[in-house]
Amino acid sequence: MKFKLKARVSRSDARTIQDALEELSAKGSINKAAEEFMVEADMEGNSAKELNRTLLSAL
């Protein structure tokens, strides 16, 4: 199944987020917004819950 990820990530390093997305074969964008990053990406997986858990583990 295909999912559209939209997330706010409280992380000080955009490169870490980009590396996590690449690890998951996700294509997306990362934009700095105040103290956090806004992430939007297209991802494929069995469920949104699984993808969320995988992304958090990658970060």
pLDDT digits (tens, 9 = 90+) for 11-33: 768 888 888 888 888 888 889 88
Averaged confidence pLDDT in the chain: 87
User: What pLDDT was estimated at residue 7?
Assistant: 86
- SS3 of 22, please? helix
Beta strand ranges found along the chain (DSSP E)? 2-9, 27-33, 36-44
Q: What is the pLDDT of residue 16?
A: 87
- Which pLDDT belongs to residue 53? 86
In the prediction, which pLDDT does 13 show?
Answer: 81
Q: How confident is the model at residue 6 (pLDDT cuts 50, 70, 90)?
A: confident
